[in-house]
Structure 1
Amino acid sequence: MSGAIEVAEKSVDNIEQLIAEMLEGDHQDNEVSLGWLLYGKSEIQVQLKITRVRSDFIDDDEEDLA
């Protein structure tokens, strides 16, 4: 399994906790580093961010799941 997939799988273990902390603390967003990847000489940090700030939403074609 590639390092990228291993890092991405950590999001499954973190997403519900991030949402709960954001709502309980009445924060606008919450984020966590899932890990680092090295591609050649480039370091990449993979992050998971939960946000209620509409202007921070990433435009996509996904439908709401809730």
Structure 2
Amino acid sequence: MNGRNRTDLQPGMMVDIVLKADQRTGKLTRGIVKDLLTKSATHPHGIKVRLTDGQVGRVQVIHKTDK
């Protein structure tokens, strides 16, 4: 899963996002999704989310977690 489909994401998931300031370098930041900010079903650059620590960016990678 690459983070472009809103249906693939839900709060509590571990993801890697690219912050606005890191878009040029592509540096990824890992965290837990708190809120989904993009309202459309898909977005070509990734769904925008807010992490539990307050950082906002577009999802690049969704990590599988065993429950």
Q: Same fold (TM over 0.5)?
A: no
More strand by share: 2
Higher normalized contact order (CA 8 Å, seq sep 6+, divided by chain length): 2
Higher radius of gyration, 1 or 2: 1
Using the size of structure 1 for normalisation, the TM-score is: 0.23
